[in-house]
Amino acid sequence: MSSTPSPSRVTFPDYSRWCGAMEVHRRLLDQNPEYAGNRALVEDTAAEYEAGKSMTAREGVTSIPVVVHVVHNTPQQDISDAQITSQIDVLNQDFRKKNPDVTDVPPVWKSIAADARIEFHLATTDPLGQPTNGITRTPTLLRDFDTDDTVKFSLGGGQDAWPANTYLNIWVCQLRSGLLGYAQFPGGAAATDGVVITHTGFGTTGTATAPFNGGRTATHEIGHWLNLRHIWGDDGDGCTGSDFVADTPNQAGPNMGVPGFPKTSCSNAPNGDMFMNYMDYTDDAAMFMFTKGQVARMDAILDNARLVLTRQAAALTPN
């Protein structure tokens, strides 16, 4: 989001690039043959889980250690511990199907709204084995960041990642206008693994700004980090794309704002688009569910591409 406009001229940001995950994905496909090969393996495994040909070996709830790297150019961008904690609280509701607004899921989809059995906690031990609160704070001379991963490197004016096989790295900074966040799909380099969120779309208090002050930008981006695609399949406004999940309806393109149910596209009447899914582009107040098929894809990642992290998480989870 942009900085506060002058009183004489009010501008509205363009949220057409709400999420930059697919932009990063395509860049890595073009530049890194190893990433392309890794992605093919990841998707083959995800397809088996989503189709029920493989079942998760995970038991109980996986609690993932998180490090939040706050990269700030102004005092306002140096968000409070309370704002960070509010975001962790939202994640733990959303990924456990404990969010209060899950009751708003339309009756037709209540049976497939799913608990991912994933929780998150701020790391208590740093990479050197020292106690930590799971938060780093880094001043920067840069006014804002884009999807080029500059924020993920100290030499670029950001902060280096902690080991990706032990932590979920979340960078919180000022992103350029119109960009709320982005993520790296499983299969990319460890040095850039994680998600990036603009500080005005992070958590539910402090600098979090409506309509993105419900913590759902992080839910969406961590969904990508766990290999979920946008629900419309990223084919523009066509009906030929796919998120590779059978229980999410085909839809033409992203939904914005707070649609009314049903909202139809791609001949998907009578129920229409599942715009309340976390992997659409609606306002935070309008998204409140994952499906069983999406959870199967997340299971595939935690059992395979992120298996080391899953095991580390079990070892490091506070009692």
> What pLDDT score does 217 carry?
98
Measure the CA–CA gap between 122 and 313, rounded to whole angstroms.
Answer: 11
Residues sharing a CB contact under 8 Å with residue 65, sequence separation 6 or more, in sequence order = 121, 122, 123, 124, 134, 166, 167, 168, 312, 313, 316, 317
Please tell me which residue in 43, 50, 119, 221 is annotated as part of the active site: 221
Strand partners, 78: none
Mean pLDDT of 255-276: 97
| Annotation marks residue 221 as catalytic | yes
Q: Is residue 262 part of a domain?
A: no
Mean pLDDT of 238-252: 96
- Which one, of 193, 182, 272, 271, lies nearest residue 230 by Cα? 182
The fraction of the chain above a pLDDT of 90, given in percent, is 90
Measure the CA–CA gap between 264 and 255, rounded to whole angstroms.
Answer: 11
For 100, phi then psi, to 5°, come to -55, -35
Q: Is residue 285 part of a domain?
A: no
CB of 145 closer than 8 Å to CB of 182: no
Q: Is the pLDDT of residue 149 over 90?
A: yes
Cα-Cα-Cα-Cα dihedral sign, residues 310, 181, 255, 239: negative
> Which tokens sit at 309?
């992290």
pLDDT, tens only, 194-217: 999 999 999 999 999 999 999 999
> What pLDDT score does 219 carry?
98
pLDDT, tens only, 11-64: 334 444 589 999 999 999 999 999 999 999 999 999 999 999 999 989 999 999
Range of the domain at 32: 15-233+290-316
In the chain, the number of structural domains is 1
Any idea what the Cα angle at residue 87 is, between residues 85 and 91, rounded to 5°? 120
In the block, which residue shows the tokens 């406009």? 5
Q: Is residue 275 part of a domain?
A: no
Q: Is residue 138 part of a domain?
A: yes
> What pLDDT score does 18 carry?
87
Q: Is the pLDDT of residue 316 over 80?
A: no
Q: Is residue 57 part of a domain?
A: yes
CATH number at residue 60: 3.40.390.10
**Averaged pLDDT score across all residues of the chain:** 93
- Which one, of 290, 288, 312, 296, lies nearest residue 63 by Cα? 312
Q: Is residue 89 part of a domain?
A: yes
Measure the CA–CA gap between 181 and 176, rounded to whole angstroms.
Answer: 10
SS3 243: coil
Predicted structure pTM score: 0.94
Q: Is residue 145 part of a domain?
A: yes
Q: Is residue 169 part of a domain?
A: yes
